[in-house]
Each structure stands twice: as structure tokens, then as C-alpha cells.
Structure 1
């Protein structure tokens, strides 16, 4: 077992999955026995207790002291954390998916040891990507953060980042480009930057007050071994960088599904269903929950923590968009049903909607991702490329769906498209969409992907209703 971890025995590692997850659930119940104030920063001692009880072990590879590779365990710890509020599951996801997984994949032994020590014995770390002047263009040429090799075993790092969860923690993994001869390369690497090199300006956010956000500025000379080189090849390096977000989006449904369950529980607890419209709204939440379950199951079955995910970009964007969109919808419905209580500070369900809304924006605004979903749908997959398949851009969307294994291999036999939707898909070819229509067609594609896997008739009907609305938006945009 890795000496950086705080465990003196292998008890947690030897537990079977049900026992381990029950242990995590019991730990949450004990740590938050007196409740948790989601309007203030989560107490660091309680967060450390959760981590030392094994909360993040599913995110660790076995060779670094983690549990056996099990995607279900990753999703489950995120889901369990979601029952204690958006900030709790968000922080679990930040340190697990956005810190530990990239650190172990790209860090050297020294960086890994230092990072694990900070995460499991201290205040952990964060991932710094977004910049104030470019926002969502994290990977685009607009990124200005850089490091420059000074030739004496040191690098000079200049970066300005913001909206990173876990700002002010013990370190940040900072995304930056290498600068040579005054020019920035296209290559993006990560740097392991300890807190001592970072200046923080705390941000006052509308929600998520239990997670520390800040503008982080680095302008310092650091040891050259701070660089975590993703690849020596520009194209492979960019792909590796994108892979961080693909995996994060695939796993995000663990967080959103836990929050969805939290919403359902509070709906059942506080809503009076003897009023017809209230009963209707409660059913609307239940339908969104059923779709969330499909997305959750997909990740558990089709993602592995030790396997590449670069070929699952379309699926990752579908999971990110729909899981966050439907969970946010459900949170808004609950807040409405609560009436005045829905705006009362400190009420267990009052802050869900405002805390969850950023999920529809972070890691790519949903509308932008819908357009990307359409683009990914109309390109050959990695498997098709290997087989020499070339897509005929004159084929219809319906023909593409019927030939795309991403849809056909996961679809249930009983899920047959209604004639009106089939006719709509037959009117568009792969090359027909302009930039605006791609957004609405991406929504249609995303929901068709889930429709094929949906076991319940209510959820299937709900998705078809949504698809028809997207079709109207597409036709009249």
C-alpha cells in the first residue's frame, strides 16, 4: 500500500463492494449527524474524516493504495454524497475525478506522493482550467496561461484561473501551454502548483457557498519537475487533456443522480399529493428521475476506470447535458412546490436549484454541448474508422441512427420510433444543419440515445414528448 495514504491496515481495501458502500453511507450519517450547513464552507475536519474513512478510494488505482477498479463504486460514492447536498457530492467529484484521476495518470512519483499526502492528510487540491477572459474556451487557442523553461532546472509560470472548486486548498493542477522563444505552443500540460505559489482572490458566488471558489493567480519561478507532461506529441497531448473531461462528464451522473434522489426524497417528504396539480408535478419529477437512472446505469455498465474513454465523447456529452438538465428541472419543480419555504435559507431543499444550476454551465454549457453531440453523431466513430467506413453525408439522420452501433447495441427491442419522429429524421441529411439547428438536432439525438435504453413506458413517453418539442424548436428556429 502507498505510504502516502493514512491507513495502517488493509481493512477498507479488503471489504467487498456492498460492505464498503455501507461503510461509506454509515460514515456520512455519523459525520453529518448534526446536519450540514450548505450556506457555509464545509468544515475541513469533517471532510478529512470522510476521506480518511475511504470516500475517495474507488478513484485510486490499486498500485497507489486504492480499491480494485470498479466504476460502480465510483458512481455510488458520488450518489451517496449527493444525499447530503450539491456541494458535498461536488467536492467528492472534484477531488476524485478532477484531481486524483489526472494526478495518477500524468504525475510523476514525487507529484503523486505529494498530492496523495495533501488529499488524504490535508486539505486536498483542485484543477485549474478556466480563465477569466476566455471562460468556456479552456482548450482553445485563447488560453494564455503558460510556463517557460529557464534552463536552470526551473520554470517560470504565469497563469490566471478562476471558478475552480477547492481553491485555497494545498495545491492546484494548473493547465498551461509551454512558451518557447516568446510564442505559445498548442500543447497543453498540467503543472503541480503548491499553495505557496498561488495568490487567491475569493469569489462571492450566488450559490455553492459550501465550496471555495476564487480567482487564482500564479506568477512565480518553480522547480521544473512541477510540469506534468501529458505527451510529447501535440495531438496526443490535446487528446489526453480532453480525456480528463470526457471521463469527468461520464462520471458526473453519479453526482446528479444522488441529487435527483435527494430531490425525490424531499418531494415525498414535503409535497401534499392530494392536490391534482401537485400530483402532476411530482410525477414530472419521477419521470426525470427515471431518465437519470438510465444514464446512471449506462455509466456503470459501459465505463471502466482503467480503460480509455476518448471514444465515448458523444456519450459523455449526452450524459452531462441530460443529467444536469433534468436534475435542474426537478430542483426547480421542488422549489416551486415548497412555496415560500423554497426560498428560506437553511431549509433542507431551498438551496438545491441555485446550487445545481452551475452544473448546466460548468464543463461546457449544455447548448454548446448539444451542438457538439450532433457533430459527433455525424462523424465516423473510432471503430468505423478502423473498419474503413466512410459516412455518406447525403444519408438521413434516421439512416445514421439505424447504422450507428452506439444506438443499436444499447437499444431495447420494444423501443420503436413513432412515425412522426421517423419522418422528421428522414427529412434531414447529415449535412443539412446550420449552427443553430445543430443545437436542437443535438437535443433530439441525445434523447433518442436514452429513449432506446429506457425500460419504463412513462419515461419513454416523457422523452418522446421532449423530442417533439425539440423538433418544433428546430423547425421554427
Structure 2
């Protein structure tokens, strides 16, 4: 599920019954942690474990929730077909209060909020399924509603007190009020821990807030969850409302895309925040922010699924009806390759996205790596798919009366916000390496360069564990028998991920934190392993339900995706040993010293 820019880019048991305590939730599965102390599919890969019970059988929504989701999607299209005018929204630079009101009346502004607060009570899977359709309709619509639900009031839903939920959620779920999420600052972007906005506790228990935030969607609206640091208490999350004295939104940003998304600069000058507006406990602010973003990244992944489906629809119509050289352009191999790449990669991304939401619905607490994976894979796949669709539309795509230019402008921010993708790659790799490092007793006390040579006991442990993994590698067994040839290579991939990760830890020790090219390779290998397992789990469920013959076409697409993903994994491992990283480093430094390219063929 990686390297989308390259030309190569791309369960037998019945599902358990729905949990009666979750009337509208996704169907639940028993979580088997495979003996590891912290059940996490992706983190387990780094220590050579394959927690297949977390992804198999493939999760499904309960029948009642599927019905509710279908009704909500029908309502969504009824609204957008009637009053959602993309051209007007671009001109007015706002999707319109009437659109927000209509979405709220239809129950689309509080999808996961409990029914006791006026919401729909959807599971994470149900919420993301509706979010997929937001993304399919229009990126601006997806972002405005996503800022509101995925991150805006998510903190109140997850961490709010009963009183806070009763006070805020009914109006937010009904769309009578809009929510924002204020984390980014002028000097703090990817390094979200190092906030400069300050909040200090007063003698009466209130908090005094000073600082500024930038690029905040819905920042001038009704409720803003803001994050700050306290010298005494650490990070704190505060619920702000526009009537608080000293809280201002001095200007709106003029953006390249998402023109209908109201993006604001916020300033706080001695804003008094009452104690009842503290979210969670003082000191929990950073953890709350990261939990919210983990949730938001899932809907970005499924929103990308929806947007690519729209691009494929546009492109197929184009290439089948546009003729050149006496035949439809869709008959040319270079066109077919682009369509096939989009279709096959979409299958794997969709499988992985809903496998991740299914894990959350099943009670798996740690899906932080998986949510980062689908955000990275989904947003970059969408960007490259849009470029291919643009290319196939030819010169017409360059005309503003066509949808392609707006799509490109809108989605370019996706790999940047809610965690820049390169930062998330490092997060995936270093989180996995940390789990492995914690398991390797004594590693931290060694000079890791050449450590196996100087520490006989550690060499013995390393050799014995390697032999054990090779003799009894982790195996993916919960797949349809006809899919086992695709499952078998995954065992070797997991073993090799563990061994490659351990080799890097022993070679670089704590300096592995600076080896970002290696981190990227490990992250992409783990992403593609996760995607293969998710795809095989999805395909197994389809074959169990409809039989091998009834799923032949789907199976062919899944096989193609898995074969390509397996090749990408092997390439990542090979590049750990054979690469031109040093040359890239040196060329970059030369370029910095010259203040630019510095090599003019024809000097002035």
C-alpha cells in the first residue's frame, strides 16, 4: 500500500453475531492478541508476529446499521442534488448555512453521536462509510463536515464529561452549531508537542489562555476545541466559544483549493476559560489531540476511497467515448494500465481502510499505526489517481468548466494536514521499532555498531530467535484455501520485516531516529503487508459468501493487487541494503551550499 508514484503502484469462520449491547454497532469479533502484551496488528509485524485474528474474519456492519447507513446516504444525495451548487460555493467561499442546516436535519452532522444526544449512533465503520460518500461528492463538503465531526467535536464525544456532552453534543449533532479543532500554530505544525499557546490555571480554577492558532477550519463558528501548554500542568485541552472575551478571528486565509472551507487565524488574549470547559484532565491535552487525529485519519482514508471512485467513473466514461486514431482511447494499453492501476489499488485501499475501522469497532484499542497507514496510502493514491485521470481527460481537463482542476486544487492539501505524510511514515516506523527495541533486552546498554560481534550472549539470542522464526514463521491461515498461494509469501515478509528492523536497531541504535529513508522503507513494507492481509481477508469473506465462481473477477483484482504489493515489499527490503542514500545526502548538501541548483548549462 505504498510507492504510489511508481509505475508498479498500483477467513473461513462465520462472523459473530452483533453485540446486543451495541444495537447499531458493527458486528463484534473476539480479539486474540496472539500472546503479545499490546494487541496491535501493525506493531506486531515489527516483532515478527502476525495477529491475523485482528483482521480475520473480515469485519462487517450489523444489518440494522447497514440499513441506517444506506438511508443516510440516500438523504445525503437528495440534499446535494437539490441545493449543493459547486460553482456557487466556489464563488461565495462557503458551502452555505442552508446546506449545513439540511445535513443536520437529515442526521448527517452527528453520525457517531449517541442517540441520547440526538445523533445516529453509528460505529466507526458506519461513520467512515458515510464519509466515503462525502468524499465522492466533493472534497470541500468532505472537509467541512469532517472538520466538524472527525476532529472538531470528537474530543467532546471521546473525553467529555456527561455535563459537557449534554451541553454541546445535541446542537453539534443537529448542525445548529459547528465545531473546529485548534492545534496548528505559526511556529508549530508537525511538531505538535511543542505548542507555544499557553494556558495557566487561575486561583478560581479557571484557565487564562494566550497565543494564536492558524489554518483552523470552522474557527470562527460556535465551538472550538483548543490545545495549549501549561508550565505547571503540561498540555491541556480547552473548549472555547466565540463569546469569550479576548478570543478573536482577525482574518480568513485565501487558499488554493477547498475554497468553500472557512479557514481562520485565531488569537487569544487573556481569554478566561471556565473550569467546566476543560476537556479531560490537565496534562492530558496532547494525548487527547493524538487520539482525535487517529480517528480523523480513518475518515480521510475512506474519503479518499470515495474520491477515487468518482475519478474512475469520470475516467471510464471519458476513455470509452473519446476516439482517436479510429478507436476508443480506452483500448490503448497505456490507458488500460492507468485504469487497471486505479481499480486494483482502490480494492486494496478500501479493504485496509474498513479492516482498520472494523478493528476499532471490535474493541482493539491501538490502531494508531493502521490509521496513519490508510491516511498516507489513501491521500497519496488519490493524488496520483487524480493526475492520471487528468492526463486521460487530455486538454479538456485544463478547462475550468471541467471538474479536474478543482479536484487537483482541493486534494493537494490532503497529504499535508492531519499529520504530514512524511511525519506519519516516521511515526509508523519508529513506533514499530520501539516495540521491537523494548523486546530486545540489553540493547540500550550496548554500542550498537557491531554489537553482535562483541556480545556473545546477544549473538546467541539473535541467532536462536532468527532460527526459530525461519523454522516456524508466522503463517496466515484464516484465508480461503484457493488464496493460500497469495498468503504464503506474507510469512516470509513478516520475518524479513522483523529481521530488517532488528538489523537497523543494532546498526544504528538510537541514531536510527535520523535514518528517515530507512524509516520510509520499513513503513511502506509494513503498510503493504497490512494491505495484503486485509485484502485476502476481504476476498475470503466474499468467496465464503458467493463461492469461487461467483467472485472470479473480484478475485483476479485482489490477486493482482496482492502480487504487486508483495513485489513492493521485497523492493523496500532490498533497498535497505542497496541504495544511493549517501549520494542523495551529498547532492542535497551541495545544493544547499550553492543556494540553488548552481549548474547552468549556458551561463549569462
TM-score, normalised on structure 1?
A: 0.82
Q: Distance in 1 between matches of 2:189 and 2:310?
A: 30
Q: How far apart are 1:409 and its partner, in Å?
A: 7.9
Q: Which residue of 1 aligns with 2:489?
A: 417
- SS in structure 2 opposite 1:322? helix
Q: Distance in 2 between matches of 1:126 and 1:152?
A: 27
Match of 1:282 among 339, 343, 346: 339
Q: Which residue of 2 aligns with 1:462?
A: 564
Q: How far apart are 1:226 and its partner, in Å?
A: 5.6
Q: Which residue of 2 aligns with 1:165?
A: 217
Unaligned runs of 5+ in 1: 1-11, 179-183
Cα contact 1:95–1:125 (8 A) shared by 2: yes
Cα contact 1:193–1:226 (8 A) shared by 2: no
Q: Which residue of 1 aligns with 2:255?
A: 205
Unaligned runs of 5+ in 2: 1-23, 26-62, 321-329, 444-461, 537-557, 582-604
Q: Tell me if 1:363 matches 2:363.
A: no
The equivalences for 1:63-462 within 5 A come to 63-109=116-162, 111-112=164-165, 113-114=167-168, 116-118=170-172, 120-138=174-192, 140=193, 142-152=194-204, 154-178=206-230, 184-185=231-232, 187-196=234-243, 197-225=247-275, 227-231=277-281, 234=283, 238-272=286-320, 273-304=330-361, 307=363, 309=365, 311-380=366-435, 394=462, 399=469, 413=484, 414-417=486-489, 425=497, 428-430=500-502, 431=505, 432=507, 434=512, 435-436=515-516, 437-455=518-536, 456-462=558-564
Cα contact 1:60–1:100 (8 A) shared by 2: no
Q: Tell me if 1:24 matches 2:72.
A: yes
Q: Distance in 1 between matches of 2:280 and 2:271?
A: 21
Q: How far apart are 1:338 and its partner, in Å?
A: 1.6
- SS in structure 2 opposite 1:454? helix
Cα contact 2:301–2:374 (8 A) shared by 1: yes
- CA offset digits 1:334-353 (Å, max 9, x no partner): 12212223233342333223
- CA offset digits 1:312-344 (Å, max 9, x no partner): 222222222112222222122112212223233
Q: Distance in 2 between matches of 1:102 and 1:371?
A: 25
Cα distance change, pair 397–104 in 1 and its aligned pair in 2 (3 A): farther
TM-score, normalised on structure 2?
A: 0.66
Q: How far apart are 1:50 and its partner, in Å?
A: 0.9
Q: Which residue of 2 aligns with 1:6?
A: none
Q: Distance in 2 between matches of 1:185 and 1:88?
A: 40
Q: Distance in 2 between matches of 1:397 and 1:192?
A: 54
- SS in structure 2 opposite 1:54? coil
Match of 1:60 among 102, 113, 130: 113
Cα contact 1:397–1:429 (8 A) shared by 2: no
Q: How far apart are 1:298 and its partner, in Å?
A: 0.6
Q: Distance in 1 between matches of 2:252 and 2:141?
A: 19
Cα distance change, pair 57–172 in 1 and its aligned pair in 2 (3 A): closer
Q: Distance in 1 between matches of 2:132 and 2:173?
A: 20
Q: Distance in 1 between matches of 2:562 and 2:442?
A: 30
Cα contact 2:223–2:242 (8 A) shared by 1: yes
Cα distance change, pair 62–28 in 1 and its aligned pair in 2 (3 A): closer
Q: Which residue of 1 aligns with 2:447?
A: none
Cα contact 1:155–1:224 (8 A) shared by 2: yes
Q: How far apart are 1:133 and its partner, in Å?
A: 0.7
Cα contact 2:109–2:173 (8 A) shared by 1: no
Cα distance change, pair 239–199 in 1 and its aligned pair in 2 (3 A): closer
Q: Distance in 2 between matches of 1:218 and 1:95?
A: 21
State which structure, 1 or 2, has the greater radius of gyration over its C-alpha atoms. 2
Cα distance change, pair 446–74 in 1 and its aligned pair in 2 (3 A): same
Higher relative contact order (CA 8 A, sep 6+): 2
Q: Distance in 2 between matches of 1:114 and 1:258?
A: 30
Cα distance change, pair 66–120 in 1 and its aligned pair in 2 (3 A): closer
Q: Which residue of 2 aligns with 1:51?
A: 104
Q: How many residues align?
A: 447
